[in-house]
Amino acid sequence: MFESLSERLEGAFKNLKGEAKITELNIAATVKEIRRALVDADVNYKIAKEFTDKVKDIALGTKVINAVSPGQLMTKIVKDELANLMGGTESSFNITGNPAVILIAGLQGSGKTTFSGKLANYLKSKGKSPLLVAADIYRPAAIDQLMVLGGQVGVEVYSERENKNAVEIAQNAIKEARAKNKNVVIIDTAGRLAVDEVMMTEVANIKSAVNPHEILFVVDSMTGQDAVNTAKAFNERLDFSGVVLTKLDGDTRGGAALSIKYTVEKPIKFVSSGEKLDTLDVFYPERMAQRILGMGDITTLVEKAQAQYDEVEAKRLEKKIRKNQFDFQDFLDQLQQIKKMGNLKDLMAMIPGVGKAIKDVDISDDAFKGIEAIIKSMTPFERSNPDEINQSRKLRIAKGSGKDMTEVNAFMKQFDQMRDMMKMMNKMPMGMGKMPGMR
């Protein structure tokens, strides 16, 4: 995400290397390069210019104290201002109504339906009881798609295939929610390929009829300045309450994320990266600014880990490790836990400094697939008795998993080394469970 922008900004700060203090003269090149980097990331020129003028003013007005270099100071100023540009602080999300009504709008293909599914899943995990509503009366496939997503996240979907009145469908859905004690209604509306009067009128009519608590405008972040223009058009008609930026997992330059708040004066509330339904993120401007500047985002990483952290399971595992009983099944369970946290490369990029290092490395979620296939081809007995796996069992496992013997052997060897390492740690005086920083 935003890799090229990150690299360019980092390069810009290098211009200040060796300088003892900040002067109008020595920050000129840095400021110019920041502006160019922003424009190349598809940020509107006016926004980029205003941004760098402000950064320059702050930098010239700040005294460089001995402890920080001008480069570090500029990085801090740019980070703060990037966060401000994206809204400053986290914004609220109103789901206090009963039911709370959330209207989802945006162009076709922006990721509305996928987001609706993610939001339903997210709210469900927060203890809410959502109802998804398919209000697209033009494409029966859109209803089917929402049905599938609803099924995947275990959330009921309301639809009326024969009804051609989207306003009525939305109103009926709210009645249904009341009758069934659902406390959040998520209405997925029809989109068009481009901004279009019929679509706008329809969404505006739904808005007047159901008076939503939140109107979220969903936009594909890969579309850069177009995303900003579409946002403007939707905001004029709908006066939406927040923006959802999707497809941040793709090759996004950053323009949409950095310009939308400035342009429509509405906060980005969620970002969505990937098609996995459990990877919806609340948008935190400060954390995003940190990521853009290659500072990582440990806070989000820890939160993701905590969301998956199961105290009982952790205790069970700790005990098994201590008794040298860690087996293939435990290993498989752990892999699956990690995968639930999200896209592997995105996760690793949240560690400060790692993002840049792995920029060109192909780390796909498929990296685990081979290992999973091998373990899944084992019998339950083999999974819990790694030492009992002899040559003929290995042959059968290789055949079952579609891997060759070299791969199976290599994995077995790695697994043994891992267990040796665990044994060694158990022998350490403090013991594994009491190591600093471990829970």
List contacts with ligand GDP (CB under 6 A).
106, 108-114, 145, 191, 246-247, 249-250, 272-275
Q: Rounded to the nearest 5°, which phi and psi values hold at 3?
A: -60, -45
Sorted by sequence, the CB contacts under 8 Å of residue 331 that are 6+ apart come out as 371, 375, 415
With CA atoms as reference, report the closest residue to 439 among 333, 297, 335, 312. Answer: 312
120 marked as part of a ligand binding site: no
- Rounded Cα distance between 401 and 157, Å, is 38
Write down the least CB distance from residue 199 to ligand GDP, Å: 12
- Rounded Cα distance between 176 and 182, Å, is 8
150 marked as part of a ligand binding site: no
Write down the least CB distance from residue 149 to ligand GDP, Å: 8
Sorted by sequence, the CB contacts under 8 Å of residue 24 that are 6+ apart come out as 60
108 marked as part of a ligand binding site: yes
Write down the least CB distance from residue 11 to ligand GDP, Å: 28
Instruction: Pick the closer one to ligand GDP by CB: 114 or 259.
Output: 114
Q: Are 91 and 267 in contact (CB under 8 A)?
A: yes
248 marked as part of a ligand binding site: yes
Instruction: Pick the closer one to ligand GDP by CB: 114 or 235.
Output: 114
Q: How far is CA 38 from CA 7, 8, 192, in A?
A: 11, 9, 30
Instruction: Pick the closer one to ligand GDP by CB: 233 or 425.
Output: 233
- Rounded Cα distance between 182 and 178, Å, is 6
With CA atoms as reference, report the closest residue to 121 among 159, 169, 156, 95. Answer: 156
Instruction: Pick the closer one to ligand GDP by CB: 52 or 110.
Output: 110
106 marked as part of a ligand binding site: yes
Calculate the CA 13 to chain-centre distance.
28
Write down the least CB distance from residue 205 to ligand GDP, Å: 19
Instruction: Pick the closer one to ligand GDP by CB: 69 or 246.
Output: 246
Instruction: Pick the closer one to ligand GDP by CB: 188 or 327.
Output: 188
112 marked as part of a ligand binding site: yes
Instruction: Pick the closer one to ligand GDP by CB: 110 or 263.
Output: 110
Write down the least CB distance from residue 145 to ligand GDP, Å: 6
What residue has token string 């969404």? 203
Instruction: Pick the closer one to ligand GDP by CB: 55 or 248.
Output: 248
Write down the least CB distance from residue 177 to ligand GDP, Å: 21
Sheet with 214-220, side-by-side order of all strands? 157-158, 130-135, 184-189, 100-106, 214-220, 242-246, 268-272, 280-282
100 marked as part of a ligand binding site: no
Instruction: Pick the closer one to ligand GDP by CB: 230 or 401.
Output: 230
Sorted by sequence, the CB contacts under 8 Å of residue 92 that are 6+ apart come out as none
Write down the least CB distance from residue 426 to ligand GDP, Å: 42
332 marked as part of a ligand binding site: no
- Rounded Cα distance between 295 and 348, Å, is 12
Instruction: Pick the closer one to ligand GDP by CB: 259 or 272.
Output: 272
136 marked as part of a ligand binding site: no
Beta strand extents in 264-346 (DSSP E only)? 268-272, 280-282
128 marked as part of a ligand binding site: no
Write down the least CB distance from residue 255 to ligand GDP, Å: 17
107 marked as part of a ligand binding site: yes
First to last CA, the chain: 31
- Rounded Cα distance between 434 and 96, Å, is 43
Write down the least CB distance from residue 116 to ligand GDP, Å: 8
Q: Is the dihedral of CA 248, 249, 250, 252 positive or negative?
A: positive
Residue 170: DSSP 8-state: H
Q: Two tokens at 4?
A: 């090229």
Write down the least CB distance from residue 115 to ligand GDP, Å: 7
Looking at beta carbons, which pairs linking 229-232 to residues 24 or more positions away fall under 8 Å? Answer: 230/106, 230/107, 230/195, 231/260, 231/263, 231/264, 231/266, 232/263, 232/264
Q: Which residues are annotated as a binding site for GTP?
A: 106-113, 188-192, 246-249
Bind-site residues: 106-113, 188-192, 246-249
